[in-house]
Structure 1
Amino acid sequence: MKSNATSWSIGEIADRFGLGTHVLRHWEDVGLLNPVRSGAGRRRFDESDVVRVAVIIRSKAAGMSLGQIHALLDGQVADRREVLTAHVQDLDRRMDEMAHSRQMTLHALDCRAHDIATCPNFAAGVADILARTTPPSA
């Protein structure tokens, strides 16, 4: 299908972003997209729709739910700030976890212990998890 310079079909947008057309239809159903319709009733995406799709993809990759993305794109300023503040806190938590996991993985690469779980240095990496769990009853 050939696109013109101002709008694209759902198939063209799906191909451009490597998505299934059902994904774009779902995002439309939940209110994230609102493409215009041609005289024949077909969806036509303009440049602003293309940017919204890119924002949705990036936001999902960052771990945001569709509800959070809706607030980001269409919410009131207070709702947007609340969602974004919570998301930054979640990103910080996940980045800390990733850094911790990376440190443990790098240690495991060089550790001489046959069973990595018996290495005191490696075990120290899970001490925080062990401290917040309750041991099973005997």
Structure 2
Amino acid sequence: MKIMSIGDVARVMGLPTNVLRHWETVGLLSPERDGSGRRQYDEDQIVRIAVIQRSKGAGMSLEQVGVMLNDGARERHEILRKHLDDLDRRMEDMRRSRAMAEHAMNCRSHDIATCPRFRAGVEDVMARF
């Protein structure tokens, strides 16, 4: 893989350059600099950018990502365990929502909230009341 400029990386990754600069400022990235001081991103830095994007897309904060990328961080496994638990919870919420949407697509009720089978999809939420 070739060395890429900040503009090229931003374009390929679909990010504004100021985001890459911010991630550098908070310590998530450390691109090399050429003789003129311009950032040069190698494959390792681009992999880190991909990890940051994927992790942020999955709901992690930059602070959590920083801990995850720091192999010396003592709280690394705790952060990752909490993130996995959060992902499991959100995936279950999405599964339930999908099942409700599928039911709604085929339900003959005009007001979907009056359908007993549809209402069963929110029993866990209603149990709070």
TM-score normalised to structure 2 length: 0.93
Give CA deviations for 1:1-21 in whole Å, capped at 9, x if unaligned. xxxx64211001111111111
What's the C-alpha RMSD, in Å, of the aligned pairs? 1.4
How many angstroms apart in 2 are the aligned matches of 1:87 and 1:33? 22
Question: How many residue pairs get matched?
Answer: 129
Give CA deviations for 1:64-123 in whole Å, capped at 9, x if unaligned. 111110001015353211111011100100111011111111110111111001111111
2:12 maps to 16
> Sequence identity of aligned pairs in percent?
56
Q: Which range moved further: 31-40 or 93-102?
A: 31-40
How many angstroms apart in 1 are the aligned matches of 2:94 and 2:28? 30
Cα shift at 1:60: 1.3
How many angstroms apart in 2 are the aligned matches of 1:108 and 1:54? 37
How many angstroms apart in 2 are the aligned matches of 1:7 and 1:74? 24
Q: Decide which structure has the larger Cα Rg and report it.
A: 1
Residue type of the partner of 1:7?
I
Q: 2:44 aligns with which of 28, 41, 48?
A: 48
Q: Which range moved further: 124-133 or 80-89?
A: 124-133
1:136 maps to none
Asked if 1:106 is matched to 2:102, the reply is: yes
Segments of structure 1 that go 5 or more residues without pairing to the other structure are 134-138
Asked if 1:121 is matched to 2:125, the reply is: no
Q: Which runs of structure 1 show a deviation greater than 3 angstroms over 4 or more consecutive aligned residues?
A: none
Residue type of the partner of 2:53?
I
How many angstroms apart in 2 are the aligned matches of 1:7 and 1:79? 33
Segments of structure 2 that go 5 or more residues without pairing to the other structure are none
Cα shift at 1:52: 0.6
How many angstroms apart in 2 are the aligned matches of 1:127 and 1:51? 43
